[in-house]
């Protein structure tokens, strides 16, 4: 039987299948079922700093963007008091999950202010999480702040969190950077133990009768995997930390592609949400079969085998691929 084990941020995992942050990991029962089906680690739903602020009703003095702006922003928020069971419930979820399963439990935090990120990172560590994923989901709406400013803030934040906790810290990133490889290197220097590619953006739709924006969340499609695969293949070998794919992983073959690109783990949310938790068992079995059929002895053997590490001129390689894709289209006019 092939050895499926992998290492993620220093955590030994029995295979590369990780349940990413979603309502599936919101209950201990589901986390237990995911473990039974073969999941090797879980990422809990994100705790949002606004939940903490609403609960305490006291803003830190060192708020990043000023208390008034932040207070006004909270009026746009949905009722977050019960989302992900609220802040106290969240820490309790970590404790109970750790008590109930043997697989690593990774908490997820989405902050606003540096002090908020750091404070709750410490609470999360104390509650017993094995690692922390920083869910950096911000939309750059301020025309006075440059990309360089935002990148600097992000790296500074990672540095602050890393120097405040001892558990490994992953950063879940968006694909929207002018130079993603440069940003990946900077985050690596700031101390990130892993980069998770990529956050999905959930643009709300317009209700043109009610003149409102309405939330609309669609589960992912397998095609969403492609940009992740390519960026992981490009970044692999350039950073010390690990890489993880989230977005569009819907089968064992997708998991194989992620690992060949250079990801230590492949995360899934939409596939088990759509097909049920048992689907993980099937992916696990298919993965074992695939490795055996293709005479791989271990998952490690294929790590990064399709990455750009071995390509002497990656820019020319990408340009060649671009031309190949365009020319591969066969015109079929009726």
Ligand X SMILES: Cc1cc2nc3c(=O)[nH]c(=O)nc-3n(C[C@H](O)[C@H](O)[C@H](O)COP(=O)(O)O)c2cc1C
Which chain residues interact with ligand X by CB under 6 A?
Answer: 20-23, 45-46, 108, 135, 172, 200, 217, 219-220, 224, 246-249, 268-271, 273
In the bound state with ligand X, the residue whose beta carbon lies nearer, of 2 and 24, is 24
Report in angstroms how near the CB of residue 329 gets to ligand X at its nearest: 26
In the bound state with ligand X, the residue whose beta carbon lies nearer, of 51 and 307, is 51
Neighbours of 328 (CB within 10 A): 7
Report in angstroms how near the CB of residue 70 gets to ligand X at its nearest: 20
Instruction: Please enumerate in sequence order all residues whose Cβ is within 8 A of that of 39, keeping only pairs 6 or more positions apart, or say none.
Output: 17, 18, 19, 103, 280
Report in angstroms how near the CB of residue 297 gets to ligand X at its nearest: 28
In the bound state with ligand X, the residue whose beta carbon lies nearer, of 102 and 217, is 217
From the list 72, 84, 143, the residue with the least C-alpha distance to 112 is: 72
In the bound state with ligand X, the residue whose beta carbon lies nearer, of 153 and 224, is 224
Alpha carbon separation from 203 to 41, 108, 136, 215, 263 (Å, rounded): 29, 21, 16, 7, 27
In the bound state with ligand X, the residue whose beta carbon lies nearer, of 22 and 53, is 22
From the list 40, 156, 189, the residue with the least C-alpha distance to 106 is: 40
In the bound state with ligand X, the residue whose beta carbon lies nearer, of 57 and 217, is 217
Under 8 Å between Cβ of 111 and 117:
yes
Report in angstroms how near the CB of residue 200 gets to ligand X at its nearest: 5
Report in angstroms how near the CB of residue 269 gets to ligand X at its nearest: 4
Report in angstroms how near the CB of residue 101 gets to ligand X at its nearest: 18
In the bound state with ligand X, the residue whose beta carbon lies nearer, of 22 and 264, is 22
In the bound state with ligand X, the residue whose beta carbon lies nearer, of 52 and 271, is 271
CA distance 80 to 52: 9
Report in angstroms how near the CB of residue 316 gets to ligand X at its nearest: 31
In the bound state with ligand X, the residue whose beta carbon lies nearer, of 2 and 45, is 45
Under 8 Å between Cβ of 231 and 198:
yes
Report in angstroms how near the CB of residue 267 gets to ligand X at its nearest: 6
From the list 248, 200, 240, the residue with the least C-alpha distance to 220 is: 248
Report in angstroms how near the CB of residue 248 gets to ligand X at its nearest: 5
């Amino acid at each position: 039987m092939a050895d499926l084990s992998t290492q993620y941020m220093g955590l030994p995992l029995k295979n590369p299948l990780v349940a990413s942050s979603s309502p599936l990991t919101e209950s201990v029962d589901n986390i237990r079922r995911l473990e039974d089906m073969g999941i090797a680690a879980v990422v809990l739903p994100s705790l949002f700093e606004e939940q903490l602020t609403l609960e305490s009703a006291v803003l830190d003095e060192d708020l990043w963007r000023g208390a008034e702006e932040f207070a006004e922003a909270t009026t746009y928020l949905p009722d977050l008091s019960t989302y992900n069971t609220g802040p106290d419930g969240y820490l309790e979820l970590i404790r109970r999950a750790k008590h109930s399963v043997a697989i690593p439990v990774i908490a997820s935090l989405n902050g606003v202010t540096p002090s908020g990120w750091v404070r709750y990172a410490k609470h999360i560590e104390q509650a017993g999480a094995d690692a922390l994923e920083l869910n950096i989901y911000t939309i750059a709406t301020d025309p006075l702040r440059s990309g360089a400013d935002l990148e600097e803030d992000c790296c500074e934040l990672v540095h602050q969190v890393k120097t405040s906790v001892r558990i490994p810290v992953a950063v879940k990133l968006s694909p929207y950077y002018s130079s993603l490889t440069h940003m990946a290197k900077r985050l690596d220097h700031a101390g990130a133990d892993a980069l998770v590619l990529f956050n999905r953006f959930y643009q709300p739709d317009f209700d043109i009768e009610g003149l409102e924006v309405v939330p609309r969340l669609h589960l992912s499609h397998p095609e969403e995997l492609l940009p992740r695969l390519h960026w992981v293949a490009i970044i692999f070998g350039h950073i010390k930390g690990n890489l993880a794919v989230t977005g569009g992983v819907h089968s064992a073959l997708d998991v194989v592609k992620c690992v060949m690109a250079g990801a230590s783990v492949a995360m899934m949310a939409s596939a088990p949400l759509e097909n049920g938790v048992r689907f993980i068992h099937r992916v696990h079995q298919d993965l074992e079969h695939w490795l055996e059929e293709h005479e791989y002895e271990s998952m490690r053997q294929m790590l990064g085998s399709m990455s750009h590490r071995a390509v002497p001129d990656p820019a020319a390689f990408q340009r060649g691929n671009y031309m190949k894709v365009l020319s591969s289209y066969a015109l079929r006019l009726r």
